[in-house]
Amino acid sequence: MDSNYVVLIVNIIISAVVGMGTALFTVGQYKNKVDRMERDFEKLADKKEKLRTDVDKLLEFKTQAQKFIDRSIYKDQSPLSLTDFGEKLVNESGLHDIFNDVKDDLVEMLEEMEPSSQYDTQEKARALMDNLAGYEPFKRVEKYAFDHGKDLNQILRAGAILLRDYYFEKHPEVVNSKENW
């Protein structure tokens, strides 16, 4: 019975050692996975930062390109007004006539943006017009742009001055506020 008792104790010890070894091996594997994940997260953080920098550069490029394009349609003065080329785009494209048909709808869209000053109205009008390339009433303008090799967004951006001015007619309180250009 003593030998059975010794064999039982040896088996228990061997099982415990094997169990502990397996547990340590498994913990080691998880530690390796966690270490690998930490390295991967660091790499992703670096990539994310590079992407953010690249996006910032692209946004700056877009801003500078828009300013360059805007020089051909806006006079360099305050408040902005259309150059002869800008007026020609608005008139020849038919945007001026279409604008007269939809100006109240456009003002409602601009009102939803809640402009708070003259400058804010001007910039929000430009932002709104920038996003109306798919607006159904402007399909004729889109066709004109395609048929004449013109930039639809540039035409719409020129039309933002029409929208701004009409908004001021509908909201004289913005023009008469203490805010200056």
Nearest to 124 by CA among 91, 155, 167, 86: 167
Name 150's Cβ contacts closer than 8 Å, sequence gap at least 6.
Answer: 89, 93, 144
Q: What is the pLDDT along the chain (181 residues), one digit of tens a residue?
A: 577 777 778 778 888 787 788 887 787 788 788 788 888 888 888 888 989 998 888 989 888 888 888 888 999 888 899 999 999 999 999 999 999 999 999 999 999 999 999 999 999 999 999 999 999 999 999 999 999 999 999 999 999 999 999 999 999 988 887 654 4
Same domain, 161 and 88: yes
Looking at the 3D structure of the chain, how many domains does it have?
A: 2
106/170 same-domain check: yes
Please check whether residues 63 and 98 belong to one and the same domain.
no
Query: Looking at residue 178, what is its pLDDT?
Result: 63
Contact 168, 121 (CB under 8 A): yes
Nearby residues of 90 by Cβ (< 8 Å), 6 or more positions away? 82, 96, 99, 155, 158, 159, 162
Chain length of the chain: 181
What domain range includes position 88? 84-175
